[in-house]
């Protein structure tokens, strides 16, 4: 705002900020623990509001473009965790629509992985992505 001492963001910066959710990692305490806790609430309690929170965490993690290279182990663990969670999800929660939605967000994550500059990190992330999507394609015909 004018006179507040803060610089206005350029249109490009606003676009990047709205698309890249990496800054949210600083306000989400232990995102993988949150994901696991929400998964348990959703599956053990068949709580569909828990599903919304779980899905939102998945979407946010899939949109953390800038953090991929800074915290690759977080995203490798995220994809490994998601693989296990989806394979253990009860049928009453797991639907084709939900799987298609998750697959769409994972495709966005994969595009970001392709842009990671460090080849070693990119290969590790890509390997985790391939394991996850391979399971989805094999088990759920995605």
Number of DSSP helices (H) and strands (E) in the chain, helices first: 7, 0
For residues 46-58, give the mean pLDDT: 86
Does the pLDDT at position 16 exceed 90?
no
Question: Distance (Å, rounded) from C-alpha 76 to C-alpha 102?
Answer: 16
Q: Using an 8 Å Cβ cutoff, are 56 and 11 in contact?
A: no
Residue 5 pLDDT exceeds 80: no
Contact 48, 42 (CB under 8 A): yes
Other C-beta atoms within 10 Å of 88: how many? 10
- Whether pTM > 0.75 for this model: the answer is yes
Crossing angle between the packed helical segments 119-140 and 96-114, to the nearest 10 degrees = 160
- Dihedral of alpha carbons 14, 29, 94, 123, sign: positive
Average pLDDT over residues 126-142: 88
Q: Does residue 2 have a pLDDT over 80?
A: no
């Amino acid at each position: 705002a004018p006179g507040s001492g803060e610089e206005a963001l350029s249109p490009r910066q606003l676009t990047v900020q709205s698309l890249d959710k990496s800054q949210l990692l600083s306000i989400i305490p232990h995102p993988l623990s949150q994901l696991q806790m929400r998964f348990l609430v959703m599956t053990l309690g068949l709580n569909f509001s828990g599903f919304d929170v779980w899905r939102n965490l998945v979407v946010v993690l899939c949109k953390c473009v800038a953090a991929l290279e800074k915290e690759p182990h977080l995203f490798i663990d995220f994809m490994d965790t998601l693989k296990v969670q989806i394979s253990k999800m009860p049928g009453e929660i797991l639907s084709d629509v939900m799987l298609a939605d998750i697959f769409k967000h994972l495709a966005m994550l994969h595009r970001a992985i392709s842009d990671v500059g460090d080849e070693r990190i990119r290969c590790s992330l890509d390997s985790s992505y391939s394991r996850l999507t391979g399971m989805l394609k094999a088990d759920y015909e995605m």
